[in-house]
Structure 1
Amino acid sequence: MNLHNSLSISLKIQERIDPSRRDEPAKFYVQAIQTGKTDLRRLAYLISSQSTVRQADCLAVLDGLVLNMMDELSQGRAVELGDIGTFRVAVTSNGSATPEEVNVSNIRFSRLNYRPSRVFKKWLKTLNFSIMS
């Protein structure tokens, strides 16, 4: 897999107060600057321009991937996408004193967890960063 990482990811300096320690002074942190978004149509275009597959066909496959991922995740399965990584549904819930008191109303929210593959983890270590002034 050929990964492009010659460009530098821009960072900004952000002052923040730790919500769990409001009495302490704010600290300064770096935060990655998002320069835009790429959607499924753009990915389909990029894939089609790098192969013999038409953009409409790429988009249809990506749309199918999304729908099937949601279906598999809703059945309690983790979805492993090779060199991309693994997705799974997780929940955060309120505790109860006894097991009998636990029910679905204990769930505060659900989220999608992502665990990057070894390829993505290795790629993350090669990124270049620069702080914008």
Structure 2
Amino acid sequence: MSLDAVLAAGRAAAEDRMTDAVRLYEQAEDTFDRTTGTTVPGVQTTLYAGRARVKPVAQASGEDVQASDREVRLLEYTVELPWSTPLPPGTRLLPGMRIEVTASPDARMVGLILWVTGSQFGGQSTAWRISTEDRS
């Protein structure tokens, strides 16, 4: 069996395990509207919407950090997208982009917003793995 055939089988198997659905997006900075005195959320640009596998990092116990006047716990997740997932031309995945879980067999995950912290690329990978954290 050739390497290409093995990789194709591995990528198909990885996609079979992708039972969640996500939306990868970038969000522009919020702006303040002086007329109404309210903050207007920045525009969201969807870069990918579709199948994924979202899983917590097993050994991560989380880290408490100070965010403004409250503490938040950072929990790490790995999000796997199909290996062949394209991004719009000229777009790179950057820390700070976000992933929203839009569907999952575990209904408690739906609505979870994860912040991208990094990504792993490789010609012999079976999925595109994105490192994220839950900042809630």
Query: What's the TM-score once normalised by structure 2's chain length?
Result: 0.20
Q: Which has the higher helix share?
A: 1
